[in-house]
Amino acid sequence: MRWTDTLRVLAAAALLCALAAPARAADPPVDQVKGPDPALEQIVAEANQEREDAIRERERRVAEGEARLAALRDEVTALIAKNEALRTELAQRAEAVGQAENERLGKLIKVYEAMEPEEAAAILDGMAEPVALKVFGGMKERAAAGIMGLMPKAKAARLGEHLAHPR
């Protein structure tokens, strides 16, 4: 079969289909076409209103969240500033306490240096080792040597070891 024969067969089949199909109403003239369906317009308007309401609600929630975030940011900033102020105050107090402790220790050292070595050795022998170490650490070498020489040898050795290798 040639292509022209195929074309004729197809044309005949199309003509038969058109004749066999039920007749359809002709499109109405342009002047008789009705406007948009009011029910459809109502549905579209309601959907648009719902969408706008949802957008406004989302915008309201975002604005509330931003306000809460700003309040939290301000609160954190205030807490950081308060923390820094407390840290500064604590450092100043620690320095003052350290300075007062050093002054008291300095006076105590002078007292033991002014004592007779035998008396100072007896008192320092009964003293807690950390305090005795501080006292010996601040003394002049000659006074410390005279006092340590009169202390029990085991304690003098421990104190000397700690003075040589502080931890």
Domain residue extents for the chain: 39-102, 115-167
The model's pLDDT over 109-163, given as tens digits with 9 standing for 90+, comes to 999 999 999 999 999 999 999 999 999 999 999 999 999 999 999 999 999 999 8
Helices 141-148, 38-114: inter-axial angle, 10-degree rounding: 70
Average confidence score pLDDT of the chain: 87
Q: Which of 150, 146, 144, 124 is nearest to 164 (CA)?
A: 144
**Does pTM top 0.85 for this prediction?**
no
Q: What is the pLDDT of residue 11?
A: 73
User: What whole-number distance in Å separates Cα of residue 40 and Cα of residue 42?
Assistant: 5
